[in-house]
Amino acid sequence: MNQHGYCPHCGADFDGEKVLDTFKNKGYTDDTALAMASNHAGFKEYGLDNKWDNRIYVTEYSTDYSKKLKYYKCNSCDKRLT
């Protein structure tokens, strides 16, 4: 199951490594890794299959600084996502 989707420009998969595996690979015990992973967004919905999101979240101001712009950008092709 794909959790975060694909880039419409280059087809890159936005699913990263499983959150739980990241903590296990850093040397945490199974219990500690599970406790840490359960604090991340998406754990209630995806449980142990919860994955990191490989999209880049961008916040910037418009050229005249009147508006704050928020959007995602592809980590592979660097194009803005709608």
Residues sharing a CB contact under 8 Å with residue 48, sequence separation 6 or more, in sequence order: 18, 20, 37
Given a cut of 80, whether residue 29 has pLDDT beyond it is yes
Residues of the chain with pLDDT > 70, as a percent, come to 99
- Paired tokens of 25: 């690979």
Instruction: State the pLDDT at residue 42.
Output: 85
Three-state DSSP class for residue 43: helix
